[in-house]
Amino acid sequence: MSKKKLAILSLAGYLLTMVMGVLIGNIMSKMLGENVLGTMLINDSNIIYKIIIQIPPTVFLLYFIKKYYNWTEVGFDIVDKKGLLWFLPYLIILIFMLWKFINEFGKNMSNYDNKVYFLIVITFIGTVMAGFCEEVIFRGITLNSFKTEYSFIGAMIISSIGFSIVHITTVFMGNSLLVALVTVFYSSLLGFAFVGLMIKIKNIWPLIIFHALWNFILIISQTLKLEVSLAVGICNILNIFMAIILWTVVIIEQKRRAIKKLY
């Protein structure tokens, strides 16, 4: 089976297993007599449901990679140290966001009990699984399966659009259609920037770490009503500039490779 067909199969399997997670969680919520579909926020009643959604796709993806790929093929390669400099703006944003989160959390620490800390741990596990899956599917399998030695652009477009559209599925996890569409828009900014980062860095780990920590801080901050909106706004602006710059650089480099091939 060709790599392109495998990439399509992996995405179909990822979406199917996520639907399975939603159905399992929905059945459990009905058995408990609770409505956990009404919000994307984490609380005592829906925390198990939220993490159940992520378990089937994570297990599927680990199995799929083991059966059809090796880890190098999906982005776990040697880091391009020079390319890693492109990640520096995101590292600065992440440090700022972590500082803001820790500062806000510290102010309210006396109000938190053991349930809150349990919620934080489980949320972290869930966001790590989600960050791993989304990065490996779109910036790992899809990007590397559709690109060729001399052409990255088509693969970058497919990867970016696929990452954006898949976020419409948040309507099945508690978001309204309007909020889901807003999520699609903002995820598209990140998707177009991160696919360029993946081309330059050649290693998916920095993207997974950022994605997981970003989602974790965002979800916990919204749940506990902590203020981190400034960091979010800065990151959205950064995504636009980084996407434009990185795509321009990749297109220029691709044209140079094409010219060199001719001569």
DSSP 158-196: HHHHHHHHGGGGGGGGT--HHHHHHHHHHHHHHHHHHHH
Backbone angles phi, psi at 93, to 5 degrees: -60, -45
pLDDT > 70 fraction of the chain, expressed in percent and rounded: 88
* pLDDT tens-digit readout, 181-196: 877 888 888 999 999 9
Work out the mean pLDDT of the chain and round it to a whole number: 85
Give the span between the Cα atoms of 138 and 5, in whole angstroms. 14
Q: Give the integer Cα–Cα distance in Å for 257 and 87.
A: 24
Instruction: State mean pLDDT over 149-154.
Output: 80
The one-character DSSP state at 30 is H
CA-CA distance, 200 to 207, in Å (whole number)? 12
The yes-or-no verdict on residue 35 having pLDDT over 60 is no
Asked if residues 223 and 41 have their Cβ atoms less than 8 Å apart, the reply is: yes
Highest mean pLDDT among 89-103, 144-158, 218-232: 89-103
**Single-letter residue type at 230:** L
pLDDT at 87 over 60: yes
Q: Shortest CA distance to 187 belongs to which of 206, 208, 163, 171?
A: 163
Q: What is the DSSP string of 94-136?
A: HHHHHHHHHHHHHHTGGG--HHHHHHHHHHHHHHHHHHHHHII
Taking the C-alpha atoms of residue 50 and residue 54, their distance in angstroms, rounded to an integer, is 7
The whole-number pLDDT of residue 29 equals 65
114-136 burial by CB neighbour count: b if 16+ within 10 A, else e? Answer: eebeebbeebbebbbbbbbbbbb
Cα dist from 38 to 5, 141, 165, 234, 246, whole Å: 36, 32, 21, 29, 38
Quick one: pLDDT at residue 13? 94
Is the pLDDT at 244 greater than 90? The verdict is yes
Q: Which tens digits make up the pLDDT trace of 91-118? A: 999 999 999 899 988 888 888 888 888 8
CA dihedral 9, 175, 89, 225 (to 10 degrees): -140
Q: Which amino acid is at 188?
A: S
The model carries a pTM of 0.90
**Burial tier of 243 (Cβ tally within 10 Å: 0-12, 13-18, 19+):** buried
